[in-house]
Amino acid sequence: MRKYVLRRLLIATSSLFLASLGVFSLPRLIPGDVVQLMLEERAYGKDLEDLRAKLGLNRPIYIQYFEWAGRVVQGELGESLWTKRPVLEELGRRLPVSLKLGLLALLFSVSIALPIGILAAIRQDSLADYVSRSLAIVGLSVPGFWIATMVILLPSLWWNWSPPIQFTEFSVDPWAHVSQFIIPAFILGIASSAAIMRLTRAQLLEVLRQDYVRTAWAKGVRESAVVLRHSLKNSLIPVITVLGIQIAQILGGTVIFETIFGLPGMGRFLFDAINQRDYPVIQGVNLVIVSVVVLMNLAVDACYAYLDPRIRY
């Protein structure tokens, strides 16, 4: 177990290294001169060479990378070109908002997907199965930003009420603070719950056809025990994999939902930074998001080892 986790840790590190290369080279992909573009965007005069030296762009590219990586490891993510505030400080304020939104979305998605997926599998080809499968495809097809728009628009037309889109701090009004996350998290969770539900159903169906499950039935084990104790754990491995990928998608989705619902999280931060071409911020947010995703995948790998003791690579 420990060897396995260590090995996955090594792989995660290599992923993180490659991803950091991507994050690092992002602003350097811009056609033309970055510095000129930055100055132009900011619209007030500043010495070109000055900024170039400050960004370290006058040195060889690999040295630039190591310098950048060295600073990142020390928690130095630079400062916003726009507000001049340290990126790390800003991220520290915004990360909790996105994490709350993301975790709540994940919670919604799993708690909808697993029971429905299990039900659809054990009652295969029943009405409930058809309805849930059709709903899953609809859930995968309807764009979240449109649902969000409708959720804000329609109640305001019908009942003159719309969900809060003004951010309230926890210290000001705890209940309002929590409740403003519920609707965006639910919508954000829909798409991933559809994917997880479909996979849970398919995997469980496969396991339910195995010999040992038939043996369990033959021994007279209760249905709940056959499904929950004998089958579910074995069918969950691919589901966990997809869950890992869904976490990345949910984090990506925060960009849209934080923008629509006015939540001051990382996604919104990224969106504003992209609009203003605030490269240190874009790099910082991307780096944090990628690190979260890599860590989550590591956790997923550790879950494998728990779910299936045979896994040793």
Partner 1 sequence: MADHVETLASRSTQADVPRQAVAVPRLHAIWRFCRRKPLGALGGAIVLVMIVMAVFAPYIAHYTYDETIRGARMKPPNAQFWMGSDNLGRDIWSRVVYGARISVTVGFCAVLIANLLAVSIGITSGYLGGKYDLCVQRVVDAWQSFPFLVVILSIMAVLGPGLLNIILALGFFGAANASRVVRGATVSVAQNVYIEAARALGAGHVRVMVRHILPNVAATIIVWATIGLGAFILAESALSFLGFGVPPPYPSWGGMLSGSGRSFFSQAPWIAIYPGLAISLAVFGFNMLGDALRDVLDPRLRGAGGRMR
Kindly list the residues in this chain that would bind partner 1 in the complex (CB under 8 A).
11, 14-19, 22, 26-27, 29-31, 137-138, 140-146, 149-150, 153-154, 156-157, 191-192, 194-196, 198-199, 201-203, 205-206, 242, 245, 248-249, 251-253, 255-256, 259, 270-271, 274-275, 277, 282, 285-286, 289-290, 293-294, 297
Nearer to partner 1, 111 or 156 (CB): 156
Closest distance of CB 177 from partner 1, Å:
25
CB atoms inside a 10 Å sphere around CB 75: 8
Output 165 or 178, the one with its CB closest to partner 1.
Answer: 165
Using the minimum distance from each CB to partner 1, give the nearer residue, 19 or 221: 19
Indicate the SS3 state at residue 237: helix
Alpha-carbon gap, residue 193 to 105, rounded angstroms: 9
Rounded to the nearest whole angstrom, what is the least distance from the CB of residue 184 to partner 1 in the complex?
15
Question: Least distance in Å: CB of 223 to partner 1?
Answer: 22
The neighbour count for residue 3, using CB atoms within 10 Å, is 9
What's the rounded Cα separation, in Å, for the pair 290 and 293? 5
Closest distance of CB 117 from partner 1, Å:
10
Residue 79, helix vs strand vs coil: strand
Q: HEC states along 35-78?
A: HHHHHHHHCCCCCHHHHHHHHCCCCCHHHHHHHHHHHHHCCCCC
Give φ, ψ of 79 to 5 degrees. Answer: -125, 155
In whole angstroms, how close is the CB of 172 to partner 1 at the nearest point? Answer: 27
> Looking at beta carbons only, is 18 or 225 nearer to partner 1?
18
Query: Least distance (Å) from partner 1 to the CB of residue 174?
Result: 30
**Residue 197 or 216 with smaller CB distance to partner 1:** 197
Place of tokens 């490891």: 73
**Residue of 242, 237, 250 lying closest to 198 (CA atoms):** 242
Q: Which is nearer to partner 1, 1 or 153 (CB)?
A: 153
Q: Is 31 exposed, middle or buried (0-12, 13-18, 19+ CB in 10 A)?
A: exposed
Tell me how far, at minimum, the Cβ of 131 lies from partner 1, in Å: 13
Nearer to partner 1, 226 or 287 (CB): 287
Q: How far is the CB of 169 from partner 1 (least distance, A)?
A: 26
Q: Compute the distance between CA of residue 116 and CA of residue 128 in angstroms, rounded to an integer.
A: 9
Helix (H, G, I), strand (E, B) or coil at 143: coil
Half-sphere exposure of 235 toward its Cβ, with a 13 Å CA cutoff?
28
- How far from chain centre, in Å, is Cα 184? 14
For residue 79, what are the β-bridge partners? 86
C-beta of 153 vs 178, nearer to partner 1: 153
- The CB density around residue 54, as the number of other CB atoms within 10 Å, is 13
